[in-house]
Structure 1
Amino acid sequence: MQWFEMEDRWLAPYAMRGQASRGRVYPESPHPFRTIFQRDRERIIHCTAFRRLMGKTQVLVGKINDHHRTRLTHTLEVVQISRTIARRLRLNEDLTEAIALSHDLGHPPFGHAGETALADLMKEHGGFEHNLFGLRRVDWLEDRYPEFPGLNLSWELREAFVQHCKNQKSPECQPFLQAGGPLLEQQLADTVDSLAYDTHDIDDALGTDLIDFDEIRNVPIWRRGEKIVSDLYTNLNKEDFRKAVIRELIAWQVNDLIAETELRLQRFQVKVLEDVRKCAEPLVQFSPEVAALKIELEGFLRDRVYRHPRVMRMAVKGKRILEELFREFVRVPDLLPTNHLQRWSGAPERVTHQRPQKLIVESLERVICDYLAGMTDRFAKLEYSRLFQADTD
């Protein structure tokens, strides 16, 4: 049986099918047994930007311990939960997984502090937004194939970067927005992203003693999970109790998301893919009860975790590193690695040796921003030491 026959037998009528994809910018021959979205997924896993997620901050900058999340472990949690729900709703699991795998590729080092730093530095030079940088990364900056620049991903996976973007007025967004609303697979990965980080940020905050149980018990959604675990188990130690509550909260949100999405599909009479595109409201959502509880939780995280002095101090350090690196590279462009310097419109002729069809010429500020945004936390610190500390190479 061919893969497209298997899709037709299994997928819901409103799910995205590989054979219905708008294809790739650079045409490629179909693979004999892998769908276009399977190939997307595998290209993401093997790309440089994906590997670098291992060294990029989620919330806690620097090495607090070996257990707190990084961008990579967060991404893998989003993948696992998204794929489970996609299977239950009979959506395209391969597309959902590819979107989840790629959704954080554009994040710079040092978490949201790093994005704030680059957005401020690039305010007069075209701006910076991590989703659009993710699209730029997979379209141009990844270099794995001799035939074309970037990863040559499917139109639908590239669309997901734009649909996830908060500022959709930029020119690169417009072709994707003309298709209508986001696919269900895109909506699912986006919604699960918030489910995962809300829950695991509590886990990490408790596990690293940023907050304690007395504080989190003021949050209704935590109290609900705690009551269920307390009714099921007795005499759990502090760590096992925390883990059990986190599992319960994830399971509850997953079940709620599935149930509410099925209700909304019925309410809006979604029968085919075009109905998804035309729907004026998101279809993949939590119930009003859970959505309200999540808003309270996110307020707690913002006030008590993300603004915790330890987190703020680490964030300020990361922001300062990027700011000083940016200014130094502007002052002395020759400090940039050759493969980045050759993309600068003002670069000397001697460095422009890259294949013409893969060379994009940019302003110096954009080239520097691309270089910094691609760094891991560790590499940014190392580059800072090389430039500003006398005892390093």
Structure 2
Amino acid sequence: MKSYNELLEEEDRHLSDIAVKNSETVERMYPEEEHPYRLPLSRDRDRIVHSRSFKRLEYKTQVFINSEGDNYRTRLTHTLEVAGVSRTICRVMGLNSHLGEVIALAHDLGHTPFGHAGQDILSELMKDFGGFEHNKQSLRIVEELENRYSEFPGLNLSRMSLIGLMKHGGEYEKSDLSILREESGPGLESLITDCADEIAYNSHDIEDGIERNLIHISQLNSLAIWQRVVSDFRGEKDENSELYFRKLLRSLMNTMVSNLIESTEATLKKEGIRTRKDFSEAWKSGKRPVGFSLEMSDSISELKKFLSANLYNHPDVVVNSNRGKRIIEFLFGYLKNHSEKIPEKFLSRRESDGIYRVLSDYISGMTDRYAESKADEFGFKD
């Protein structure tokens, strides 16, 4: 059997000079004895997948309420797709695909029920009490709220996993954890995962919108990126078939992935960023050398505007989103006045965190169906 150090060295041999090495992922806030044959990022991945927060993603809305059908994305299937895209891009670029996967699997743990509508209303309710943002909540979950170990709070993920998760989706103030205070950047893998998130939802939201009959394929013909994809297959038989449409969707995702890889590698070369140290210096100076070409960025921006106008703000979606907002607003007000209804594992943090953070933690962790069930139990009238 290969030793732990042999496995560590073997993994790192396949990585480029700019990748986060597995040897950099050993440090944790609460020191642990290393497993004889499982590397730190493998343990991080398993801890996330086995967590309650991860399991609950299956019943949290991506765009369509879970009860509307069995074939639409949930927050869980979206997460798995992001992980797949991130893993692929990292491997092609010689980056640490295990780190990219860990960040992807954890990035939406803090998401509310009822999709972005749920985040919007909870953020509004919490604006005077420290705010709410789902990326920050994901970090809070893995640092503190998950309760699976007697030796430490949270999941005690490795330092680079936490830094990558902290930086996913934007710039946040430094964590209270001392392990993160002297950091030199999150690693290219975190920025790749951020783009993988965008690629995944841009592709699958089109598919789900057409599946739900809220978007018609003919509407896509006005989009530059769709015209580009269609031109590669023009003249093929059965252009109106479902299989042809799915071929176009695969090509759409491949087009965005390939552009991201090519554009990022060109930027790294142009900026002379070849090593982790180079990237760290670039990060400190404000450079973010991961992204699409200018033309592709414009096309993706056009696609996002299309999805916003024709899917996210479609009357059928808005009706359910608004109902989700009303449920969360009701639960927030009711539980504030009836704190005895809050489970003890949340209520026990009242003295240290305050009642509003307790409410935020409890409600944001609910699934769609649990939130609806509790609202009905407490007398919600729609």
TM-score for the superposition, normalised by structure 1: 0.91
Distance across 2 between alignment mates of 1:37 and 1:160: 12
Q: Which residue number corresponds to residue 246 of structure 1?
A: 249
Conserved? CA contact 2:164–2:189, under 8 Å: no
Aligned AA for 1:324? F
Distance across 1 between alignment mates of 2:374 and 2:104: 30
Q: Which of 351, 359, 364 does residue 355 from structure 2 map onto? A: 364
Q: Which residue number corresponds to residue 314 of structure 1?
A: 320
**1:4 CA drift (Å):** 2.2
1:192 paired to 2:196: yes
**1:363 CA drift (Å):** 0.7
Change (3 A) 1:171 1:259: closer
Conserved? CA contact 2:122–2:360, under 8 Å: yes
Q: Which residue number corresponds to residue 387 of structure 1?
A: 378
Q: Which of 323, 328, 331 does residue 325 from structure 1 map onto? A: 331
**1:175 CA drift (Å):** 7.3
Distance across 1 between alignment mates of 2:57 and 2:188: 25
Deviations 1:250-274 (A, max 9, x none): 1111111111122122111122111
Q: Which residue number corresponds to residue 348 of structure 1?
A: none
1:256 paired to 2:259: yes
Change (3 A) 1:174 1:269: farther
Distance across 2 between alignment mates of 1:389 and 1:187: 42
* Identity fraction in percent: 39
Q: Which of 133, 144, 149 does residue 145 from structure 1 map onto? A: 149
Deviations 1:46-84 (A, max 9, x none): 101111111111111242221111111111111111111
Conserved? CA contact 2:28–2:179, under 8 Å: no
**1:343 CA drift (Å):** 1.9
Q: Which of 99, 102, 112 does residue 98 from structure 1 map onto? A: 102
**1:169 CA drift (Å):** 3.9
Aligned AA for 1:259? E
Distance across 2 between alignment mates of 1:225 and 1:106: 34
Change (3 A) 1:236 1:64: farther
Q: Which residue number corresponds to residue 11 of structure 1?
A: 15
The alignment covers a number of residue pairs equal to: 374
Aligned AA for 2:365? G
Aligned AA for 1:224? R
Distance across 1 between alignment mates of 2:380 and 2:114: 20
Gap runs ≥5 in structure 1? 346-360
Distance across 2 between alignment mates of 1:173 and 1:61: 36
1:290 paired to 2:305: no
Change (3 A) 1:123 1:167: farther
Conserved? CA contact 2:61–2:368, under 8 Å: yes
Q: Which residue number corresponds to residue 357 of structure 1?
A: none
Conserved? CA contact 1:98–1:157, under 8 Å: yes
Change (3 A) 1:192 1:278: same
Q: Which residue number corresponds to residue 348 of structure 2?
A: 342
Distance across 1 between alignment mates of 2:66 and 2:174: 33
Change (3 A) 1:302 1:73: same
Aligned AA for 1:298? K
Distance across 2 between alignment mates of 1:167 and 1:91: 22
Q: Which residue number corresponds to residue 349 of structure 1?
A: none
Q: Which residue number corresponds to residue 367 of structure 2?
A: 376
Task: For residue 130 of structure 2, give the secondary structure of its aligned residue in structure 1.
Answer: coil
1:211 paired to 2:212: no
Conserved? CA contact 1:132–1:165, under 8 Å: no
Q: Which residue number corresponds to residue 267 of structure 1?
A: 270
Distance across 2 between alignment mates of 1:302 and 1:258: 26
**1:389 CA drift (Å):** 6.0
TM-score for the superposition, normalised by structure 2: 0.93
Moved more, 296-305 or 272-281: 272-281
Aligned AA for 1:25? M
Gap runs ≥5 in structure 2? none
Distance across 1 between alignment mates of 2:375 and 2:217: 38
Q: Which of 221, 224, 246 does residue 220 from structure 1 map onto? A: 224
Conserved? CA contact 2:160–2:186, under 8 Å: no
Conserved? CA contact 1:139–1:150, under 8 Å: yes
Aligned AA for 1:243? R
1:40 paired to 2:44: yes
Q: Which of 300, 305, 308 does residue 311 from structure 2 map onto? A: 305
Distance across 2 between alignment mates of 1:304 and 1:172: 41
Q: Quote the RMSD (CA, aligned, Å).
A: 1.9
